[in-house]
Amino acid sequence: MDVWLIILIFAAWFALFMLLGQNVATCMFGAGLLGIFLLKGSRVLDGMVATNIFYTTSTFSLSIISLYLLMANFLMRGGVVVDLFQVAYRLSGHRRFPLGVATIFSGGLLGAVSGSGSATAAALSTLASPQLERYGYSKDLAIATAAAAGSLSAIIPPSLIMIFYGSLTQVPIGHMFMGAIVPGLVCISAYIGCLAYLGWREGNRMKIPPATADGGTTTKGEAADDPALATVSGRSLSAFIFVVALMVVVFGGIYGGVVTAGEAGAVGAFASLVGMVVMRRIGWRDFWLSLEDAVKVTAMILVLVMGAEMFGRFLSFSQVPRELVDLVQPFIDQQMLIMLVLLAIFFLFGMVLESAAVMVLLIPIFLPILDSAQVDQLWFGVMACFMISLGLITPPVGLSVYAASTATRHPVERIFRPAFMFALFAALIGVAAMLAVPESITFLPGRIGQ
């Protein structure tokens, strides 16, 4: 059978089952098996499937995922979400714009804790949006701000998609984490700038006195606080300090060359368990539920990796990546053009697919092009994660927006309007900064252990 006909059958199979609502991992696995069978026959499958899957899923770098998931589960079950926002809320001084900034910074901290954009967006939308509304923001902008803050989990380490990228490209995961710190801060700054613009554009709505619970307004000097957020308890302050100290130890250890990314994950998981137990925030039930959740998510990720292995193996047999390299050969010296095209594709896929699926789907296809164009894979990887994070708040899928919408029972189409502006600001500012100054990504990884 002609190889291009097989590729067409492969693509049709994948597209059909995606449209039918099948999981991305299942679609990739099934399409890969079918393609390999049509190209090489059943003998290759007999000798390859089990062996390849075993060695792929037993890769040491993938074990890091479960460690960071465990750390996140311990902290989330310990209730640090409320504590982080409570401290940020009080630091804002009950002022409109600082409160929005505090929400975005809370999203960055929660992203470092949870690694899940959807979970962070849902938590912040229920906690922060009522307070943002109370101090003059529209409901649409308040929820969109929470969704944008949640999307930071894709670019703020320890991001799971960075671990995926590192395992697929052999880029050290610790270097990925360090390389993402400056872009993460740039993204936060872009979101803050967008919030200032959108708040200014709302005009008079931002200038009304904050509403009280009975529908009236407060006078100068009065605070319309949620009783739960009115004061910062010693319990919340200690949890805030613990989380900040934990992040400093984990990432400071990586930067100082004291521990690898995997060892840092183990230290973080153990320290979060001890901290939550000492502060009496989790019990035996929470401990076992945290283990259970971490195992479930890890298993889901490994199934996705299995599907990606079969998908990538078929692409290798069919020579599709080589054909793509030949296709872009006339432009291979125009490194910037190739980067922009590939990043645009990551962004478009991030709009319709889950972030981890985007990474395992596209990297096997684009890696030969990156090698041929001699693109720094660390630089590109951080930028790809950045573009995927923008997809979390961009229609038509925008998982962070849907999570925030579901949590607040607010129409999702109304949240997408301001959320898209956050994505646009971040794309223009962040991509321009990272392309113009590659050292913003490569400087810290180059100094690890020095």
Write b or e for each residue in 346-376: b if 16 or more Cβ atoms lie within 10 A of its Cβ, otherwise e.
bbebbbebbbbbbbbbbbbbbbbbbebbebe
Number of structural domains in the chain = 2
Burial, 315: exposed, middle or buried (Cβ in 10 Å; 0-12, 13-18, 19+)? Answer: buried
Q: Are 169 and 367 in contact (CB under 8 A)?
A: yes
Is residue 68 located within the same domain as residue 40? no
Rounded Cα distance between 85 and 123, Å, is 10
Is residue 11 located within the same domain as residue 109? no
The pLDDT, as a whole number, for residue 270 is 92
Say which residues have a Cβ less than 8 Å from residue 372's Cβ, sequence separation at least 6: 325, 328, 329, 332
The pLDDT, as a whole number, for residue 203 is 59
Is residue 235 located within the same domain as residue 116? yes
Token couple for 71 = 């750390």
Is residue 360 located within the same domain as residue 392? yes
Is residue 89 located within the same domain as residue 154? yes
Task: Please give the chain's pLDDT, 450 residues, in tens.
Answer: 678 888 888 888 888 888 887 777 888 888 888 888 888 777 777 667 777 777 777 777 777 888 888 888 888 888 777 777 777 777 776 677 888 888 888 777 777 666 566 777 777 788 778 878 877 788 888 888 888 888 887 788 877 888 888 888 888 888 888 898 898 899 899 999 998 888 887 754 444 444 443 333 443 333 445 544 555 667 778 888 888 888 888 888 888 888 888 888 889 889 999 999 998 888 889 899 988 888 888 888 788 888 878 887 888 788 777 777 777 778 777 888 888 888 888 888 877 777 777 888 888 888 888 888 888 889 999 998 888 888 878 877 777 888 888 888 888 888 888 888 888 888 888 888 888 888 889 888 888 765
Residue after which a domain boundary falls, among 52, 70, 95: 52
Is residue 1 located within the same domain as residue 100? no
Q: Using the structure block, give the residue that is written with the tokens 């961009």.
A: 394
Spatial CA neighbour of 298 closest among 63, 117, 26: 63
Is residue 402 located within the same domain as residue 437? yes
Is residue 40 located within the same domain as residue 141? no
**What is the maximum span of the chain, computed from C-alpha positions, in angstroms?**
79
> Range of 28's domain?
1-52
Is residue 154 located within the same domain as residue 207? yes
Is residue 163 located within the same domain as residue 27? no
Bridge-partner residues for 217, per DSSP? Answer: 211
Is residue 438 located within the same domain as residue 314? yes
The pLDDT, as a whole number, for residue 288 is 92
Is residue 327 located within the same domain as residue 242? yes
Model pTM score: 0.80
